[in-house]
Amino acid sequence: MAGMSALVVGSGGREHALCLGLARSESIAEIHCAPGNAGTAEIATNHPFSEVSDLIHLAFQLDVDFVVVGPEAPLCDGLADKLGNMGIPCFGPVAALARLEGSKLHAKQVMKANNVPTAAFHVLGKDSDVEAALDDFAGNPWVVKRDVLAGGKGVVVTSDRNEARDFIKDSIESDGQVLLEEFLPGDEASMLVVMDGSGFVCLPASQDHKREFEGDKGRNTGGMGAYAPAPVYTDEVKDKTIERIVEPMHKALSSRRVPYRGVLYVGLMIDENNDPYVVEFNVRFGDPECQITMPLIASDLGDLLNSAARDKLADYDIKFHDKHALTVVLAAENYPGSVEKGRPIENVPGATSDSWVNHAGTITHEGQLLSNGGRVLACTAIADNLGDAASKAYGLIGQIELSGSHYRTDIGHKAL
Ligand code: AMP
Ligand code: GLY
């Protein structure tokens, strides 16, 4: 289909990357974004909405061909269900399937029912024997996961028994129950699978850097940088992942009355035997993984996303660039803690054919670019090898001026 219009929901670096990919698509004539940021405003029409009811009305008013949902919250709140009821195709699953991200216990139960490899776990409530459960997984760090959407703050991995016990008790107090998981050693990778009722397409696997400081130290963040493809995801790991994880999940999710339409983010732990285990599912593109995955797609992104929203993925022949992509996040002072918005940003370099700046928490006020969130910009580059991609991305980020901002200097180092 040529000349389509798309509405992208969200306001981060991920949504800017989606808009850039759609802007490159011959199938797309018009892009809208809600609420968007200063970067999306350059290539799409921004609309100041983020409530589900407003988004439904907007999609109807604009009469878009399809909607692409970036973040998980509106999906968990039923945005795809409501668009579906109105006959508007949506890239992003209905609420019942978005629970794969919304409830970690639900995700565990689905994995168990479909024999998908994942860590062993206990569900603990107020009457559970917490000490016995801690004993069960002693000898390794304890992994405690809250069963709610917690914005990246719902997981504690610790070798301190007191810390594990306190987090368990606090979580039971606030949520009623909590998961205690067996620790999985290994290397992590993020695998994005675009799927619908008719088929699935695996995108290149990437590696995120979730901690705030070099050497994976400091607090957990939404992601400080990423690169793709990830060398830990070898052909052997890929074959095992598809056979043991992607195919059974697709079978389960596509056989439903309303199938899964969107992207399933599979957070993998790959052990020393090259066996993959699922650490988490997300029901959306990763951020910043999206920023480096979109530029590796050589096929028309609008056609891919629209096909998935309409159950037309079967036998989709996707093409990728044989390149490496890397992105480095520029974060505001004190991120991932609370940040001050509204600081001026200067010297943002212009895009070239192989390097550019993704906007995340940015806004323009009276012609001045201002910070508007924790992760402010992401500097992204694509090259024939990872080292060149890193040099180009770091060449961009070194030019930008934002008071108090920080970034990690070791993105991609593990693979270099
Ligand atoms: P999640 O929000 O479930 O992705 O967990 C956040 C991070 O905690 C992951 O990216 C892993 O680094 C770590 N993690 C989660 N579950 C486990 C596990 N079972 N074993 C080891 N590390 C884990
Ligand atoms: N970068 C990790 C995530 O999007 O969940």
Given pLDDT bands bounded at 50, 70 and 90, which one contains residue 191? very high
Residue 138 burial by Cβ neighbours in a 10 Å radius (0-12, 13-18, 19+): exposed
Residue 218 burial by Cβ neighbours in a 10 Å radius (0-12, 13-18, 19+): middle
What distance in Å separates the CA atoms of residue 18 and residue 377, rounded to the nearest whole number? Answer: 15
Q: Is-contact 396 349, C-beta < 8 A?
A: yes
The two beta strands, 66-69 and 4-10, are parallel
37 Cα–ligand 2 center, Å: 19
pLDDT value of position 152 = 67
Tell me the per-residue pLDDT of 355-405, one tens digit each, with 9 for 90 and over.
999 999 999 999 999 999 999 999 999 999 999 999 999 999 999 999 999
Given pLDDT bands bounded at 50, 70 and 90, which one contains residue 267? very high
| Closest Cα to atom 1 of ligand 1 | 280
46 Cα–ligand 2 center, Å: 24
Ligand 1 atom with the smallest distance to the CA of 280 is 3
Residue 117 CB neighbours (<10 A)? 18
157 Cα–ligand 1 center, Å: 7
Ligand 2 atom with the smallest distance to the CA of 152 is 5
29 Cα–ligand 2 center, Å: 29
